[in-house]
Amino acid sequence: MITISGVNKFYGIYKALTDVSIDIAAGEFFSLLGPSGCGKTTLLRSIAGFETPSSGDIRIDGQSMIGVPPNLRPTNMVFQSYAIFPHLNVEENVSYGLKRLKLGAVEERRRVGDALDQVRLGHLGKRRGHELSGGQRQRVALARALVLRPKVLLLDEPLSALDKKLREEMQSELRALQKAVGITFVLVTHDQYEALALSDRIAVMFGGRIAQLATPKELYQHPLTRMTADFLGGMNFLSGKVTEKVGDMLSVETERFGRLRLAAAACGGRPGDYVTLGIRPERLRLLWDGEHADHELQGRVTDRAYFGETTHLSVRVDGLEQPLSMIETNTYGADDLPIGASIRLAYDPEAFVALADDEADDR
């Protein structure tokens, strides 16, 4: 439904976007995820029409949007700072953008009512903007966008001003809302958990380029590059030497994890090359006395952080440059392990991924 092809954006000589191409399907919940300055807002604003690409095309429903002003595009944007009018009540705030459509009072009231019901604010229609909580204001901002019945809703960090608990509540509401209204949502966020929890697919951006575009599970389990792996949660990195490559499969010799067989994916290592390997902290497991595994290592706890349902451990293993991060659920007593404790850990040789180097940010 949205086709972004070969988009570049210069601000003077500074290149904010480099050769960005993405297809977004109708009804999809799509996220642009990346650190500050990666270009995600510039891309969203280009879809909305607040920025014009220096080259490339953006099509919605087959029609090029280049040169089409924001108010004539089938899109609507919800901003991070949801500027709602404090002196107007909720209904007035939501109906504001409808005035120019001249729908008539009855239709207007019906549309406002529908939009407020969609965001569960039907009961607060008469309350003024300045009397609302942060979460309620955010809902008003959403209703104000939905009331115009756009084909695409563009959301620029809409939840970042909310505290953690409210943000999590609004995340599940946003997901339910998108399923209920069935329109395409494009969300900009720097919060990987938000992107993972909400999206059908995610484009990870670094330095103005798309680093990887995939489903949340694919991104988390099979990141292609080291930066993507690191941005989407913790990852233990280590180096290994490629001894054999057959088709897409590599055999890699490592210092402490023995010989691993894994998909080359994007890493393209040839025999003799050193490649970066990664394993997620939760794929390492503590072994208690009497427990044994096919693949285990000896280590020493160097740090411990208690998070309630989980405990994060740093474990130093002889022969590895970096301590290994581990995440244990607090069912068996990892939360009581003293610093310095000698432990054994189990690993699954299938849980490693081979990672490519990232493209340099040459902007």
Residue 39 in contact with ligand ATP, rule: CB under 6 A: yes
Indicate whether 38 belongs to the interface with ligand ATP (CB under 6 A). Answer: yes
**Beta-carbon contacts of residue 173 (< 8 Å; ≥ 6 apart):** 119, 120
Please report whether residue 16 would count as binding ligand ATP according to CB under 6 A: yes
Using Cβ positions, the residue closest to ligand ATP within the complex turns out to be 41
Least distance to ligand ATP from the beta carbon of 19, Å?
A: 15
Choose, by CB under 6 A, the member of 42, 75, 95, 199 that binds ligand ATP: 42
Which of residues 41 and 95 has its CB atom nearest to ligand ATP in the complex?
Answer: 41
Residue 41 or 171 having the CB closest to ligand ATP = 41
CA distances from 36 to 40, 42, 121 (A): 9, 11, 32
Classify the C-alpha dihedral 222-223-229-231 as positive or negative. Answer: negative
Could you say whether residue 36 binds ligand ATP (CB under 6 A)?
yes
CA distance 16 to 3: 19
74 scored as a contact of ligand ATP (CB under 6 A): no
Nearer to ligand ATP, 38 or 279 (CB): 38
* Nearer Cβ to ligand ATP (161/351): 161
User: Least CB distance from residue 145 to ligand ATP, whole Å?
Assistant: 19
Q: Which residues lie closer than 8 Å to 25 by C-beta, 6 or more apart?
A: 1, 184
Task: Tell me phi and psi for residue 355, to 5 degrees.
Answer: -120, 140
Q: Which of 41, 136, 138, 314 binds ligand ATP (CB under 6 A)?
A: 41
Q: Please, which residue, 40 or 167, has the CB nearer to ligand ATP?
A: 40
CA gyration radius, the chain: 25
Asked whether position 355 contacts ligand ATP by CB under 6 A, the answer is no
Establish if 40 lies at the interface with ligand ATP (CB under 6 A).
Answer: yes
Instruction: Give me the DSSP letters along 162-196.
Output: S-HHHHHHHHHHHHHHHHHH--EEEEEES-HHHHH
Interaction of residue 190 with ligand ATP, rule CB under 6 A: yes
Q: Is 11 in the site for ligand ATP (CB under 6 A)?
A: yes
Q: Which two tokens stand for residue 301?
A: 């706890």
Q: Interface with ligand ATP includes 323 (CB under 6 A)? A: no
34 binds ligand ATP (CB under 6 A): yes
- Strands (DSSP E) contained in 190-254 are 201-206, 209-214, 236-246, 249-254
SS3 240: strand
Q: Which stretch binds ligand ATP (CB under 6 A): 37-45, 94-102, 195-203, 260-268?
A: 37-45
Name residues contacting ligand ATP, limited to 227-266 (CB under 6 A): none
Return the number of other C-beta atoms located less than 10 Å from residue 46's C-beta.
24
Nearest C-alpha neighbor of 294 from the set 358, 246, 349, 231: 349
| Straight-line distance from the first to the last Cα atom of the chain, in angstroms, rounded to the nearest whole number | 30
Among 5, 19, 37, 218, binds ligand ATP (CB under 6 A): 37
Least spacing, CB of residue 175 vs ligand ATP, in Å: 21
Chain residues in the site for ligand ATP (CB under 6 A):
11, 14, 16, 34, 36-42, 190
